[in-house]
């Protein structure tokens, strides 16, 4: 019984963490930092890549090429990383 309760608790915590992060993800417009990151990764080449961690630059650039420069697609990887942190901490 204890193991089942433990598994249920983990699933509920992860579901709530995902809901809190993903529900209104694309509602608000970009903050100053997000707009700066989106513009630099969209317009820049390798010289702009030096201003960001390499994985972040490649991730943002790939998302912009596939889904465009909208708010929600650019925020999804960071929201999923937040859910992954909840899993890792638990």
Each residue of 21-76: pLDDT tens digit? Answer: 888 887 888 887 778 777 777 776 666 656 667 777 788 888 888 888 788 888 88
Q: Indicate the angle between helix axes 32-43 and 54-67, nearest 10 degrees.
A: 80
The reported pLDDT for the residue numbered 48 is: 60
The reported pLDDT for the residue numbered 43 is: 75
* 5-33 pLDDT, tens digit each: 888 988 999 999 999 988 888 788 888 77
The reported pLDDT for the residue numbered 83 is: 92
Q: Is 34 exposed, middle or buried (0-12, 13-18, 19+ CB in 10 A)?
A: middle
- Are the C-beta atoms of residues 79 and 19 closer than 8 Å to each other? no
What predicted TM-score, i.e. pTM, was given to this entire model? 0.74
What residues have CB less than 8 Å from 71, skipping those under 6 apart?
A: 25, 26, 28, 29, 30, 34
């Amino acid at each position: 019984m204890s193991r089942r309760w433990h598994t249920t608790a983990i699933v509920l915590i992860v579901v709530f963490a995902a809901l809190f992060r993903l529900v209104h993800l694309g509602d608000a417009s970009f903050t100053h930092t997000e707009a700066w990151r989106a513009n630099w990764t969209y317009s820049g080449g390798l010289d702009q890549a030096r201003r960001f961690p390499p994985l972040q630059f490649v991730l943002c650039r790939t998302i912009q090429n596939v889904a465009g420069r909208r708010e929600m697609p650019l925020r999804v990887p960071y929201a999923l990383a937040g859910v992954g942190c909840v899993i890792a901490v638990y």
